[in-house]
Structure 1
Amino acid sequence: MTNQERLNIEIKGITLTTDELSVYLAENGLNANDTYNTTDKAQTRKIYEAALSILESIANQPQLMKNYTSDDQTVSQLHENLMARIDQLENKIRKMKIEESKAANTNGSFFMLFDR
C-alpha cells in the first residue's frame, strides 16, 4: 500500500485527483508513491496531518455549508460534523506528538524545575 492509498482510506468519500493528493502529501513531507509503513508512527501522523489539511480545505468552501435534501432524506449540519472531525484529528495528532516526544526523552535524563 502506498501513502496515497492510505490517505484515501482516511478521507474515504472525498474525491480528489491524484495530483491534489500528491500535493497534500508532499506538503506534509511524504511521497505519494512510497510504501506506507504501518509501524512508523511519524509516517502515520503525517498521513493524519494530510487528511486534516484536506478537511480544512473543505471547511473553507462556504458553498458546501448548506443543507441537502435527497429522496426524503436531509443531510444537514455538515459544518458542525466537519469541524468535529477536524477537532478529532487535531487531538489525535497532538497525542501522537506527545507520545513521540516522550519516547524520544527516555534516555534517562530528567530535569526538575521546582524542588521541594
Structure 2
Amino acid sequence: MADIAAGTQVIINAWAIGRDPSSWEEPLEFKPERFMNSSIDYKGLNFELIPFGSGRRGCPGVFFAIAVNELVLANLVYQFDWKLPDGIAGKDLDMSETVGLTCHRKYPLLAVATKYLKN
C-alpha cells in the first residue's frame, strides 16, 4: 500500500470497483439476483457497490432518489402493460454496454407501453 501525500486529490473509480472480479462472480454479467439475500447495499457502507458515493462526500439525496425511483416505477407498472416491439423475446435482447461518464446500454431499449384499462 502506498502513502498518499496530504492535500492530494483522490478520485475513486466506482466503475472499476463495481466490476472487480475479486468482489463479484462474473462481474460483467447483468445479474440483479446477486443482491438477493445479500448484506451488500447501495448506501455507501459496502465498498463493493457505491453508486451514490460514501462517507462525508456521499450523495445527500440518496434516500430521496430511491423514494422517487420507486414511486415512478410503481406508477409505470401500474398504469401500463409493457411489451417488446415486433414480438422480440426478452432472451434475445442485446445487453451490451458502452463506457463513458456513466455506464449505459450500447443499443437503446425499446418497449411498447399500452395504457392498462381496468374492467
* TM-score of the aligned structures, taking structure 2 as reference length: 0.32
Structure showing greater relative contact order (alpha-carbon pairs closer than 8 Å, 6 or more residues apart): 1
* TM-score of the aligned structures, taking structure 1 as reference length: 0.33
Q: Higher strand fraction: Structure 1 or Structure 2? A: 2
